[in-house]
Structure 1
Amino acid sequence: MSTLSQILEHKIIAIVRGVQPEYVLRLAEAMYAGGIRLLEVTMNSADPLTVIREVSARMGDKMIIGAGTVLDAATAREAAAAGARFILSPVLEPEVITTARGLGLVSIPGAYTATEIYAAYKQGADMIKVFPATSASYIKDITAPLPKMHLLPTGGITPENIRDFQQAGAAGFGIGSALVNAKAAITPEYLQQLTEKSRQFIRAIQS
C-alpha cells in the first residue's frame, strides 16, 4: 500500500514539536498502542533528522514517519534521507512540492484560501494542510467547489470536534498539542494518558 493510501486510511497525523529527542520514541510507542499510525516530526524541533532516523528504524513499517515545517527543498532532501515518507509545510512552496514528489514522498503543503488550495493541487500536492483549521464549516465550504482535494485540517482539532471535520469532508487530520504535550514530564502515567488520548481520537473517527 502506498504512503498516501495509508495516510488516507489512518487519517490522524500526530505532530511532535519541541519534544526532547530522547523521548520521541517513547511517545511514538505510546501513541501506537492507542492506534496512531502516522507521526510528524517538525524540523524546528531539536535534532529532528536524528529523531526521524531513529523512530523510522525502530518502528519499521508499523508507523509512517514524516517531516513537518519543511520550508525549502534542501530540508526536504535531508528529511527523505533520514527516512521521512511524507513532507508537510506550513506554507505553499512550489520547490518543496516538486522535490518531495521527485523523491517519491507524499507532499502536503500548507494553504488556506480556495485559491491557495487549488494552486497547491495544480502544482502536484498529494494533500493540502489547511492551517489554521478554524472550523469544520470552513472545510465544508472549501470541499463543495473543490471536491477532488484531500484536505488535512490542522490546529484546534479535538476528540470532541474531529467528527465534525470528518463529516465536513476532511481526508485527514493534523493533531498537535491536543494530543502531545511537549512540556509534560515523560512519566509512565503520562505515557498511559497519551495512549488513552490516542484511543479517544481513533474512536471518534470510527464512530
Structure 2
Amino acid sequence: MKQKILISVIVLFGIIYIFFIPAEPVIVKLSFKVVPMLLIIWLASLQKAPPNTSFKNWLLLGLLFCMIGDATLQWFLIGLSSFLIGHICYIVAFIQLKEKAIIKPAASLLLLYGGFMIFWIAGTVFKSGDLILAIAVVAYITVILTMGWTAIQTNAKFAIIGALSFIFSDSILSINMFITDVPFSHALIMVSYYGAQLLFAISISYYSVIRKKVLE
C-alpha cells in the first residue's frame, strides 16, 4: 500500500511539473523537475533486490546520475555527461540480469535506428562545426542503445519497456534540439522520461519475484 501511494505521488508531481510549472523562475522549475526523480529513487530504495546481484545498487546509481543530468541539462554537455554515466550504470545493472541473447529482429532494429540517428542528429551537429558536441552525441546514442540492448536481454518487461521509453524520450529531445521543433515536445519528453525511470525502479522487485520463482 505504501508503495502504491508513493507511485501515485510520483505521478502527481510529474503532472504538476510537466503541465503546470512555468519556465520562470528557473530555480522553481528545476526544483519541481527533480522532485519526481527524488521520489523514484526513494521508491527504488524500498524494492527488494534480486538475489546474488548488485543490480539494485547500480540501478540506484543510474537514477542518481540521471537526476543530476536533469538539474544540469541547461549546461548541455554537463547534463549529457551525467546522463551518459547514468546509462552506463544501467548497462552494468542489466548485464547482471541477462536471461538470453537478444533476438535478431530486435538487434537489427536497434542497430538500424542507431545508425539513422547518428547520421541524422550527429551529422547535423557536425555540419554546424561543433565537432566536440557531435562526438558527444555519437557517444550518447551508442550508450543509450547499448542500454536498450542489455535491457532486452534481461527478459524483464518493465526494464524493456522502460529502456524503450527512455530511447523515445531522448530521441524527441535530440530532434527538438538539433533538427526541428516537435509539437508537444516537452510533454512527450518528460512523460516518457519519468515513465522510464519509474519502470526501472519497479523492475527491481518485479525481477526479484520472477527470479525467486525460477530458482524454486
**TM bucket normalised to smaller:** under 0.3
User: When the two structures are superposed, what TM-score results if normalisation uses the length of structure 2?
Assistant: 0.24
**TM-score normalised according to structure 1 size:** 0.25
**Structure with the bigger percentage of helix:** 2
Q: Which has the higher contact order (CA 8 A, sep 6+)?
A: 2
Compare the two structures and name the one with the higher strand fraction. 1
